[in-house]
Amino acid sequence: MTETAPIQSSAGRQTSSAEDGVIITFENVTKRFAGVTAVDNVNLQIREGEFFALLGPSGCGKTTLLRMLAGFETPTEGRILIDGKDIAALPPNKRPVNMVFQSYAVFPHMKVFDNVAYGLKMEGVDGGEIRRRVEEALELVKLDGYGQRMPDQLSGGQRQRVALARALVKRPRVLLLDEPLSALDAKLRDQMRSELTSLQEKVGITFIMVTHDQDEALAIASRCAVMNRGVLAQVATPADLYEFPNSRFVADFVGSVNMFEGVLDEDEPDHAVVRAPELAAPVYLDHGVTGARGSTVWVALRPEKIEMHKRNGGEPPKMEDAPAGTNVVPGTIRDIVYLGSETNFEIELEGGRRVKTFRSNLTRYDQEDFTWDEPVWLAWHACSPAVLLS
Amino acid sequence: MEQTWRQAKAAFAAVSAPPIVWLLLFFLVPLAVVWAYSFGVNSGPVTIDFTGTFANYTRALEPLYVGIFWKSLIVATLTTLLCLIVGFPVALAIAFSSPKAKAWLLLLIMLPFWTNLLIRTFALIAVLRENGYVNAILEWMWTHASGLMTLVGLQPLGDFEPLTLLYNNTAVVIGLVYVHLPFMVLPLYSALDRMDRSLMEASLDLGAGHLRTIWSVVVPLAAPGVASGVLITFIPALGAYLTPDLLGGTDSQMIANVIERQFKRANDWPFGAALSFLLMYLTFIAVAVQALVQRRSERRG
Amino acid sequence: MADEAPTAAATSPAPNRVKEKPGPLEYMRRWPLQLIVGLTLLFLYLPLITLMVFSFNTSRRNIVWQGFTTDWYVRAFNNESLLQAFINSLTIAFLCTIASVVLGALAAVMLWRFRFPGKTVVEGSLALPIVVPEICMGVAMLVFFARVMPWPTGLPWPLNLGAITIAHISFAFPFVATVVRARLASFNRELEEAAKDLGASEWRTFWDILVPHMQPGLIAGALLAFTLSLDDFVITFFTAGPDTITFPVKVYSMLRFSVTPEVNAASTILIVVTVILTAVGLNMQNQTPADKKA
């Protein structure tokens, strides 16, 4: 698999990598477990004050990366720097990072207060100061007054807040969160999402979160790294990940996508054309692609970026930003899923390929516009498809 | 869930009658007879009258026997403590080793446990006796150290005096530790193996060192395992017969040896019965304490 | 894997394969603990290995190695009473195992399946043989077979072993019950309901569904009962008569008089038997077709 090549297929958008403000650097970090490579030569910089998300399917190495940062795993090769200093020699208890565990790991035999105070006691902070800072931390996570409770008297969400307070009270340089929302129910998860972002703004500490949930990453993080099979696939802001994926893997993993294999037919600085056998018309793009003519490429089209028009004998709709005969293909509606706010359609193209498209229900009657087995035109703008070289 | 016995009387009878009858006839009745004997007196060489006397128990309170009970308790406690000190790091190391190493190490700990107690004790004698291995190694070290000292111009050490490792109280404790160590390691291992690793990681993450983590997180959370390890080491050590008999000296008799003597040599069955019930009561107290610890930590977790 | 990923260009040409530092919780890879584990294993095994090695020593005194011989094994095999004791031990262990597995399995099913008055009393009584010190149980058995139910003397072999066998079953079957009950706890009741739903009778459900599920527990219990019986000295010591000697009792009396390498040879045989039995038992347990969760 080679979905990892960082080729910029989109309009040259690239996240700047300013050297200043970098707090964490992974340098050629590799981790092997008994011959299996969990993390493969990762190079990554995380900046002060970011809310950074490590996103990927389970087993992609994202948790291993986080645990190497915390000191629970040692890299097989490469270096990890915090504030420019190699931390290889530091055991977990000496590192300026703290972690919120997936299971929260709240000590079941200690009161909430003692849980939060634990890390401060280890630092040798004196009693009065501990009391003050613990109260402050509990207030920060809205658990004031819960200090004397035992963890088994708390709900899952409250236990997570204890874990948060316990880590934040140490004032770490970086806070690590391992799948912070995965154990919460749907409603609490939404609430916790916004609380995490506001908490991060309030304390101003760099947060690094591991998650397999792309919605969660897009919603919370200021920057994401997508990982696949131990390799960094793409590092970008949430919007760039979604709109300008650099590989089929990222396009497919983040959001929903229609992917067509094709051949690069024309490639000029101001436009490009891709012919895909499954599409009746060529795909016209309003920007150049850095690829050799005749090479295999993939066109990724997000469902919501496909327009649908009625086709009862009529002419194909004209897309003003693309030459006639491009970016419009005929099809037939095969499936309709009404979701309230929008309706999802599945359209069969002439070759038999099925394509997904979403349509917002702008009025209360929009859902009645189309019906099963209705012939339609599908059309898209020249700036909508992402062309992927890997 | 469970069904009441009324719903399936025939099945219940078929399942419950054999074990209950067996237990009653071949375990509870014998115990009851011994219990009855403990309130009786020898009225002839083979006849015992049930007089309901407490004389046997009063006699057990004589300093001689109280001393032996006390000594048995101390030996058993010491044994348990040593097993815990050695067993805890061993269990910790096994619980946190790779799955393959774990299986082998567990097997290595288990094997002696499956091996005959008498053979193990006998094997230990061969190692500990005056011309046994430990002394041979010590002698070798002694003579070489002595040679080395002459080499550098110092006075050579005197003649090697073999240590008396057998037939004393130390030998009994060593023997009991040797025999019971697997009993301690296994429950400790299973408690440590079940423990949520992230709790230890959280402690390290919050700045605690390893010893601190073990003391303030691992030990409290493994308390039920520690308690059951302590119990299943303490009980057999308290009632040990073979080890003090084979490894002990004249002053190393434990309570079980005294009981045996009452039944086999002194032929004072009522007194032996009283002693063995006292030993049983001590055992029950230990079980009750363990149950208490267990319940307390369960309520917490 | 993404072996030709362009990022790989950054890797140094020959990645130095230094042994990485142990992770913080890999205690087995830290030398102090390795030392403790090593010394403990040495402590546990040195005596046993010494014993086995010196069963092949020509010297009568066990300390110096003089030469290899199998003489002591020949002598042990020619020692009529030692051989008889060995056979007795194996016979008793075999009988005890069968009876204990049946009684233990029944007891486990009873406690797992039924609610009945006095259940806690039965449960507590079943735990008693596990808890009560061996010496107390030995004494009780001595009294029982001397005064309450004297075992007839002069019975033909193996009936003369009856008293010892009964005593062994009494302390072994509660252990089996505990093991089997632990196994039953993981039984999914819906399997039983499914079998009945598909038309199986109570009895067929028991044999087709419950017994296969119990199987690993039954094997483990059998192994436990066998070794407990083979291992027991104290209780046997109190129930054995002059013509019903078991191997441990025989070895004990030999030790009392003189230690000859014969005892080493006989012990080595028993150790080997135990190791083989354990291996067979563990193998059987690993190969049971039942679910792998156990």
Of B191, B180, B248, B194, which is closest to residue B222 (Cα–Cα)? B191
Convert the pLDDT of each residue in C255-273 to its tens digit: 877 667 788 888 888 888 8
Report which of residues A238 and B46 the model is more confident about.
A238
For β-strands B48-50 and B40-42, DSSP reports them as: antiparallel
Q: Which residue type is seen at A245?
A: P
Strands in A22-33's sheet, in edge-to-edge order, are: A36-47, A22-33, A77-82, A85-86
> Are C135 and B260 an interchain contact pair (Cβ–Cβ within 8 Å)?
yes
Reported as type and span, the H/E element at residue A322 is none
A191-205, B224-238, C147-161: least confidently modelled range? C147-161
Q: What is the CATH number of the domain that holds C106?
A: 1.10.3720.10
Convert the pLDDT of each residue in C166-206 to its tens digit: 999 999 999 999 999 999 988 888 888 888 888 888 788 88
Domain assignment present for C62:
no
Domain assignment present for B81:
yes
On chain B, the residues whose CB falls within 8 A of the CB of A118 are 203, 206, 208, 216
On chain B, the residues whose CB falls within 8 A of the CB of A163 are 202
Task: Tell me the residue range of the domain where B178 lies.
Answer: 63-129+165-300
Convert the pLDDT of each residue in B153-177 to its tens digit: 777 777 777 777 788 888 999 999 9
- Non-local (6+) Cβ contacts of B86 within 8 A are B177, B181, B184, C36, C40
Q: What is the pLDDT of residue C21?
A: 67
State whether C46 and C181 are in the same domain. no
State whether C254 and C147 are in the same domain. yes
Looking at the complex, does the CB of residue B300 fall below 8 Å from at least one CB of chain A?
A: yes
Using CA atoms, how far apart are residues C133 and C124, in angstroms rounded to an integer?
Answer: 15
Reported as type and span, the H/E element at residue A36 is strand A36-47
Q: What is the pLDDT of residue A2?
A: 38
Tokens matching residue B208: 């605690």
CB burial readout A374-388, b (16+ within 10 A) else e: bebbbbbbbebbbbb
Domain assignment present for C141:
yes
Kindly indicate the confidence band of residue A5, based on its pLDDT and cuts at 50, 70 and 90: very low
Q: What percent of chain C has pLDDT over 90?
A: 32
Using CA atoms, how far apart are residues A371 and B102, in angstroms rounded to an integer?
Answer: 63
Domain assignment present for C67:
no
Using CA atoms, how far apart are residues A365 and A385, in angstroms rounded to an integer?
Answer: 29
Q: What is the pLDDT of residue B213?
A: 92
Kindly indicate the confidence band of residue C294, based on its pLDDT and cuts at 50, 70 and 90: very low
> Are A92 and B205 an interchain contact pair (Cβ–Cβ within 8 Å)?
yes
Domain assignment present for B93:
yes
Q: Give the 3-state secondary structure of chain C.
A: CCCCCHHHHHCCCCCCCCCCCCCCCCHHHCHHHHHHHHHHHHHHHHHHHHHHHHCCECCCCCCCCCCECCHHHHHHHHCHHHHHHHHHHHHHHHHHHHHHHHHHHHHHHHHHHEECCCHHHHHHHHHHHHHCCHHHHHHHHHHHHHHHCCCCCCCCCCHHHHHHHHHHHHHHHHHHHHHHHHHHCCCCHHHHHHHHHCCCCHHHHHHHHHHHHHHHHHHHHHHHHHHHHHHCCHHHHHHCCCCCCCHHHHHHHHHHHCCCHHHHHHHHHHHHHHHHHHHHHHHHHHCCCCCCCC
- Non-local (6+) Cβ contacts of A268 within 8 A are A288
Q: Is the peptide bond before A91 cis (omega within 30 degrees of 0)?
A: no
Tokens matching residue B251: 């002053």
Tokens matching residue B38: 């403990």
Q: How many domains does chain C have?
A: 2
Task: Tell me the residue range of the domain where C234 lies.
Answer: 73-293
Q: What is the CATH number of the domain that holds B211?
A: 1.10.3720.10
Q: What is the pLDDT of residue B1?
A: 56
- Non-local (6+) Cβ contacts of A327 within 8 A are A281, A283, A284, A319, A379, A380, A381, A382
> Are B206 and A91 an interchain contact pair (Cβ–Cβ within 8 Å)?
no
Using CA atoms, how far apart are residues B85 and B184, in angstroms rounded to an integer?
Answer: 10
Convert the pLDDT of each residue in A321-354 to its tens digit: 888 888 999 999 999 999 988 999 999 998 889 9
* Surface of B (37-66) touching C: CB under 8 A: 37
Which residue in the set B212, B216, B300 is minimally distant from A108, CB to CB? B300
Domain assignment present for B192:
yes
Query: Which ipTM value was assigned to this complex?
Result: 0.86
CA distances from C85 to A221, C78, C242, C250 (A): 76, 13, 11, 7
State whether C82 and C225 are in the same domain. yes
Which residue of A32, A40, A86 to mutate against C (max C Cβ within 10 Å)?
A40
Per the document, the length of chain A is 390
Which residue in the set A106, A119, A150 is minimally distant from B207, CB to CB? A119
Whether pLDDT at A13 is above 60: no
Using CA atoms, how far apart are residues B171 and B169, in angstroms rounded to an integer?
Answer: 5
Of A221, A100, A99, which is closest to residue A159 (Cα–Cα)? A100
Gap from A72 CA to chain B (nearest CA, Å) = 7
Gap from C113 CA to chain B (nearest CA, Å) = 5
Q: How many domains does chain B have?
A: 1
Q: What is the pLDDT of residue C63?
A: 63
* Surface of B (264-293) touching A: CB under 8 A: none
Q: What is the pLDDT of residue C62?
A: 56
Convert the pLDDT of each residue in A146-164 to its tens digit: 999 999 899 988 999 999 9
Looking at the complex, does the CB of residue B293 fall below 8 Å from at least one CB of chain C?
A: no
DSSP-based three-state secondary structure for A307 = strand
* Angle ∠(C12,C14,C16) on CA atoms, nearest 5: 95
Convert the pLDDT of each residue in C119-161 to its tens digit: 999 999 999 999 999 999 999 999 999 888 888 877 787 888 9
Whether pLDDT at A70 is above 60: yes
State whether C45 and C169 are in the same domain. no
Phi and psi for B33 in degrees, rounded to 5?
-65, -45
Looking at the complex, does the CB of residue B192 fall below 8 Å from at least one CB of chain C?
A: no
- Non-local (6+) Cβ contacts of B183 within 8 A are B83, B113, B229, B232, B233, B236
Kindly indicate the confidence band of residue C19, based on its pLDDT and cuts at 50, 70 and 90: low
Of A158, A149, C172, which is closest to residue B27 (Cα–Cα)? C172
Q: Which CATH code for domain A257-388?
A: 2.40.50.140
> Are A92 and B202 an interchain contact pair (Cβ–Cβ within 8 Å)?
no
DSSP state of B218: I
Domain assignment present for C7:
no
Of A323, A338, A339, A336, which is closest to residue A376 (Cα–Cα)? A336
Convert the pLDDT of each residue in C84-110 to its tens digit: 998 999 999 999 999 999 999 999 999
Tokens matching residue A27: 């340098």
Q: Which residue type is seen at A303?
A: P
> Are C7 and A74 an interchain contact pair (Cβ–Cβ within 8 Å)?
no
Using CA atoms, how far apart are residues B260 and B266, in angstroms rounded to an integer?
Answer: 9
Convert the pLDDT of each residue in A75-131 to its tens digit: 999 999 999 999 988 888 889 999 999 989 999 989 999 999 999 999 899 999 999
- Non-local (6+) Cβ contacts of C64 within 8 A are none
State whether C230 and C88 are in the same domain. yes
User: For the residues A175-201, what does the mean pLDDT come to?
Assistant: 89
Whether pLDDT at A168 is above 80: yes
> Are A101 and B198 an interchain contact pair (Cβ–Cβ within 8 Å)?
yes
State whether C51 and C146 are in the same domain. no
Report which of residues B267 and B71 the model is more confident about.
B71
Domain assignment present for C11:
no
CATH of the domain spanning A5-96+172-248, picked from 3.30.70.260, 2.40.110.10, 3.40.1410.10, 3.40.50.300: 3.40.50.300
Tokens matching residue C293: 């969760």
User: For the residues A291-310, what does the mean pLDDT come to?
Assistant: 90
On chain C, the residues whose CB falls within 8 A of the CB of B103 are none
On chain A, the residues whose CB falls within 8 A of the CB of C16 are 77
